[in-house]
Structure 1
């Protein structure tokens, strides 16, 4: 099993949704993926440990008052495998993010698994430190980065997005956009920009995790 870019995109989208309940149909629609791509991405995310089966997190049903353990001897005929598959495909909130694992992967592994592909100067959607979330943090300059896109409003150094549908998804979800831009800062940013991304991205994914160490930034 090898992770694909859309698997990381799906995981970040689930971070952006937080505690919202979701379905595969909604996930596919908002990310510009097919239903089969969304299913496969979640499956690989579960296998890699970036996601957790939501059914495993649900508390067991409470026993009825006065019920005894002996009631467990009664058997219920299992549903046919096909019925289980159909139920899973329409299930509400079928998986959740494993925040610690995803934050670790985002900072230490993803930039190597999904290396940056630099493109010619183009008009597109700003990313990395040029994204709207960082307006006022970094002064605009000649090293602005963009995802080439027909609906783009900025001109800069072209950078292939994590996945072809990432610009579409980002323009609909500000938190997802911020995380994708931070990921690009890790991939192509200078020392100061990488330092910001190393601090900010894991906190967005895993707010309850250990706080990143303060390190001097050069460059």
Structure 2
């Protein structure tokens, strides 16, 4: 088996996309197309996730409890984020579903994207193609927004995001 040189941000995006697919059958080429990531990058990512025990050895079942544990305890330290200037983009974190109705805030957070419909503080997505992929898949958008709430939020927002992720995963 290959040596593990650490996870990359797109690995989380790929795992969340697989979760968003639910019971739907998928192929690596489907994930690659829908996320705008090359087939070889998907393959390498899934290999890293197998080594990290975040996906089964057959690369079909995400180990949701392990992923949730990583998101809860490691995400904000490994992929921290601080919002920057105002830009046009796609809403994320508490500014997007499912948190937009439960967390009230004057600040709007967005992933920069020229074709986005919202304006807010810029948040760097885990992977450059995230805004496009999120606009094509509502559930993936929600999962990624919850992950950003963990990356950006205070303890209350993080706890609410983790509870929501737990609901999605189960």
Do the structures match in fold with TM over 0.5? yes
Q: Establish whether residue 168 from structure 1 lines up as the match of residue 132 from structure 2.
A: yes
Q: How many residues align?
A: 166
The change in CA–CA distance for 1:189 and 1:117 in structure 2 (over 3 A counts) is closer
Shift, 1:96, TM fit = 1.6
Which residue among 106, 114, 133 is the counterpart of 2:71? 106
Shift, 1:111, TM fit = 2.1
Q: Establish whether residue 158 from structure 1 lines up as the match of residue 122 from structure 2.
A: yes
Which residue among 93, 98, 114 is the counterpart of 1:128? 93
The change in CA–CA distance for 1:164 and 1:117 in structure 2 (over 3 A counts) is farther
RMSD value, Cα:
1.5
Shift, 1:28, TM fit = 0.1
Q: Deviations over 1:171-212 (max 9, x none)?
A: 11111111111111111123432221121113322x1xxxxx
Shift, 1:140, TM fit = 5.1
Please say if residues 106 and 202 of structure 1, whose CA atoms lie closer than 8 Å, have aligned partners that are also in contact: no
Q: Which runs of 5+ in 1 are unaligned?
A: 55-93, 208-219
Alpha-carbon separation, structure 2, partners of 1:148 and 1:11:
22
Q: Which runs of 5+ in 2 are unaligned?
A: none
Kindly name which structure, 1 or 2, has the bigger radius of gyration based on alpha carbons: 1
Please say if residues 75 and 151 of structure 2, whose CA atoms lie closer than 8 Å, have aligned partners that are also in contact: no
Q: Establish whether residue 52 from structure 1 lines up as the match of residue 52 from structure 2.
A: no
Q: TM-score, normalised by structure 1?
A: 0.71
Q: TM-score, normalised by structure 2?
A: 0.90
Please name the residue that 1:192 is paired with.
Answer: 156
Q: Deviations over 1:141-166 (max 9, x none)?
A: 2x110111001111111100011011
